[in-house]
Amino acid sequence: MGKKDRTHNDPQATSSSVASAQENGKVKLEVTISSLSNTFSKSDPVIITFSIANVGEITATILKWFIPSSFINAEVLHGNLFSVKYATNSVEQLDSGRVPSGNYVGALMKHASPTYKDFLVLNPKETYTVTFDLADYYSFSSGGIYTVFYDVMEAQLLYSTGSASVVTQLTSNTLRLNVAGRFKPSYSVNSAVTGAATNSFIGCSTTQQSLIITARQDALTCSNYLNDVYMSTFDPFNTNARYTEWFGPDTLSLNVGTVKTHVMSIKSAFLSADMVFDCTCTDSAYAYVYPNQPYKIYLCKAFWSAPAKGTDSKMGTLYHETSHFDIVANTDDVVYGQSGCRALATSNPSKAVTNADSHEYFCESSILADPRSPVRPVVKPVTKPGPVPVPKPAPSKPRPAPKLAPTKPSKLLPSKPKPAPKPAPIKPSKPLPSKPKPAPKPVKPTQQPVRQPSRKPSKAPTDYYYYYYG
- Report the 10 Å Cβ neighbour count for 41: 11
* Three-state DSSP string of 251-301: CCCCCHHHHHHHHHHHHHHHHHCCEEEECCCCCCCCEEECCCCCCEEEECH
Pairing, β 296-299 against β 275-278: parallel
How far apart CA 285 and CA 421 sit, in angstroms, is 83
Q: Which of 68, 46, 79 minimizes the C-alpha distance to 129?
A: 68
In 3D space, the residue among 276, 282, 261 whose CA is nearest the CA of residue 318 turns out to be: 276
Q: Is residue 321 annotated as part of the catalytic site, yes or no? A: yes
Question: Could you tell me which of 114, 31, 133, 150 has the C-alpha nearest to residue 74?
Answer: 133
DSSP string, 382-446: HHTTTTTTTTTHHHHTTTHHHHHHHHHHHHHTTTTTTTTTTTS--GGGTHHHHTTTTTTTTHHHH
- Contact present, 61 and 124 (Cβ < 8 Å): no
Q: Which of 30, 126, 154, 321 is catalytic?
A: 321
Between CA 122 and CA 115 the distance in angstroms is 17
- Cα separations (Å) of 231 from 158, 257, 260, 366, 451? 35, 10, 7, 11, 130
Q: Among residues 383, 384, 366, which one has the least CA distance to residue 375?
A: 366
Q: Give the Cα separation of 171 and 154 in Å (integer).
A: 9
Residue 135's closest CA among 16, 70, 41? 41
Q: Kindly give, in sequence order, each residue whose CB lies less than 8 Å from that of residue 139, ignoring residues fewer than 6 positions away.
A: 98, 99, 100, 101, 102, 103, 104, 105, 184, 292
Catalytic residues: 321
